[in-house]
Amino acid sequence: MLEAAEPELDPEDLVHFSVGDLPRRGYGVMGEIRRQGKLCDVTLKVGDHKFSAHRIVLAASIPYFHAMFTNDMMECKQDEIVMQGMDPSALEALINFAYNGHLAIDQQNVQSLLMGASFLQLQNIKDACCSFLRERLHPKNCLGVRQFAETMMCAVLYDSANSFIHQHFVEVSMSEEFLALPFEDVLELVSRDELNVKSEEQVFEAALAWVRYAREQREPSLPELLSKIRLPLCRPQFLTDRVQQDDLVRCCHKCRDLVDEAKDHHLMPERQPRLPAFKTRPRCCTSIAGLIYAVGGLNSAGDSLNVVEVFDPIANRWEKCQPMTTARSRVGVAVVNGLLYAIGGYDGQLRLSTVEVYNPEMDSWSKVGSMNSKRSAMGTVVLDGQIYVCGGYDGNSSLNSVETYSPETDKWTVATPMSSNRSAAGVTVFEGRIYVSGGHDGLQIFSSVEYYNPHTATWHHVASMLNKRCRHGAASLGSKMFVCGGYDGSGFLSIAEVYSSMADQWCCTELGFCSRELTI
């Protein structure tokens, strides 16, 4: 017997009913059931501490338990599971988080929570703990935070702590953490080009303070330590009156030889080429920092310029520098090892791939290796001593290509391209990554944002800006990234936006000046 066909359902007779907050309320109810000790089917044990929970909640919220309970591991059938090496209070907090999505992080629990989150594969909590530590970096704790970040393989936190140490070296060198560092760490630190010091004399004083802290054990290390300090950059009077007269230096013939080498640098210029290059290379913040350089650009007639000027905010005056060898507008500018690089740009006829470098000590320009691609209006930043150029315009189209330059080898290398072609984008280093915001591809202006992770050589998208913009300024300050001004296709903007990576969210703030095109 044939069954009658069911009548076709009228869409008007179909109603979809949903309760949007049911999952949230459901987790709340399960948390209350757990507090009452009901329906729990697993106990987690750490030492003498035991915590009851529901497998389904742990598996749904914590990747470690999801793998354990859904892959037929031995523990999935055990009523009690021993959690080796975890802090009991951290485990309890993370179990509670699985039920209510809330976690209170403070100075006392942040390290144990980060370790527990790492063990349980809770990357979002691990990132939140890293952000907490990063926002509270201080000259007295940054070395310990860096060591902890290295142990926990938190690359962004490690890079942030490293940058903080370099930027605040003088204050860091006065801390107990610095004085307790092993020799290898101090040697590596005083060798860095990135140290923010007013003079090399501050590096010398830091090294001597470290040796004197445990003189008997550390005095034999002084010659090697002193060999990494750029004594030729010290004032002759300081070499004679301070370095040469120090009792640690006087009683060590290798140290005396290093002092004589530095004095010869000042007294016998013909011997200067014999010194290793790093000995006379300024730290990155001794020549350029504190000054504002205006490089190239356009005049009122629209002609590209080779003019360079420098502003001293203390003296409140502008001065002309030696002009570039090539006129450049829409030029990329970067500072590495106390040298100013002018990269690519437009000379009025062609887009350029050439690069020249300015030595402020000599007030002179010299050419270095050219990029693989000609480009103007690209984003330029420095990360880990390497120059990165992102996107730009080659005269025909906007680019998504990225190149990186090593001052040590004078070579440009092609890096992973961005996901979008971007010209006149905002580019800045934030939390150890390169963030590229907005820009245009010749057809449309973007609000999208992506960042480059140098450890994985990959690009990732984050939340888009609230406003599309190009030709804007971008900069990071503390735990926030800022974009300011720019052009949205109809006019210049007076609105700035602030980005928080922890929330992956932008919010607006009004600039206290007129709308404009900005470069930071």
Query: What pLDDT, on the 0 to 100 scale, is given for residue 286?
Result: 42
CATH code of domain 22-163: 3.30.710.10
Of 72, 44, 61, 55, the C-alpha closest to 121 is 61
Query: What pLDDT, on the 0 to 100 scale, is given for residue 133?
Result: 95
d(CA 418, CA 435): 11
Query: What pLDDT, on the 0 to 100 scale, is given for residue 87?
Result: 93
Contact indicator for 359, 366 with CB cutoff of 8 Å: yes
What number of helices (H) and strands (E) belong to the chain?
Answer: 17, 22
Query: What pLDDT, on the 0 to 100 scale, is given for residue 7?
Result: 61
CA 348 to chain centre: 35
CA 129 to chain centre: 17
Gap between the terminal Cα atoms of the chain: 82
**Which two three-digit tokens encode residue 366?**
């010299």
Whole-model pTM? 0.57
Largest CA distance in the chain: 115
Domain definitions of the chain by residue range = 22-163, 181-280, 287-370, 382-520
CATH class, 181-280 region: mainly alpha
Spatial neighbors of 257 by CB under 8 A, at least 6 apart, are none
d(CA 425, CA 439): 4
Of 200, 240, 260, 298, the C-alpha closest to 517 is 298
* Residue 324 CA: distances (Å) to CA of 366, 411, 461: 9, 21, 37
State the amino acid at position 35 in one-letter form: R
Domain 382-520 architecture: 6 Propeller (2.120)
Q: What is the pLDDT along the chain (520 residues), one digit of tens a residue?
A: 555 556 666 667 777 777 777 677 767 777 678 788 888 888 899 989 999 888 888 988 999 888 888 887 777 778 888 998 899 999 999 999 988 888 999 999 999 999 999 999 999 999 999 999 999 999 999 999 999 999 999 998 998 899 899 989 999 999 999 999 999 999 999 999 889 888 899 999 999 999 999 999 999 999 999 999 999 888 888 999 999 999 999 999 999 999 998 888 777 755 555 777 778 777 765 445 568 999 999 999 999 999 999 987 766 789 999 999 999 999 999 998 889 999 999 999 999 999 999 988 788 999 999 999 999 999 999 988 899 999 999 999 999 999 999 998 999 999 999 999 999 999 999 988 999 999 999 999 999 999 999 889 999 999 999 999 999 999 987 778 999 999 999 999 989 999 988 889 999 986 554 444 444 4
Phi-psi region of 392 (alpha: psi -120 to 50; beta: other; left: phi over 0): left
Query: What pLDDT, on the 0 to 100 scale, is given for residue 479?
Result: 74
CA 451 to chain centre: 11
Contact indicator for 351, 375 with CB cutoff of 8 Å: yes
What is the crossing angle of helices 88-100 and 110-120, to 10°? Answer: 70
d(CA 135, CA 156): 12
What does residue 383 show for φ and ψ, rounded to 5 degrees? -140, 125
Q: Considering just the CA atoms, what is the radius of gyration of the chain in Å?
A: 29
Mapping DSSP onto H, E and C, the string for 157-207 reads HHHHHHHHHHHCHHHHCCCHHHHCCCHHHHHHHHCCCCCCCCCHHHHHHHH
Query: What pLDDT, on the 0 to 100 scale, is given for residue 312?
Result: 77
**Which two three-digit tokens encode residue 500?**
């928080």
d(CA 37, CA 24): 20
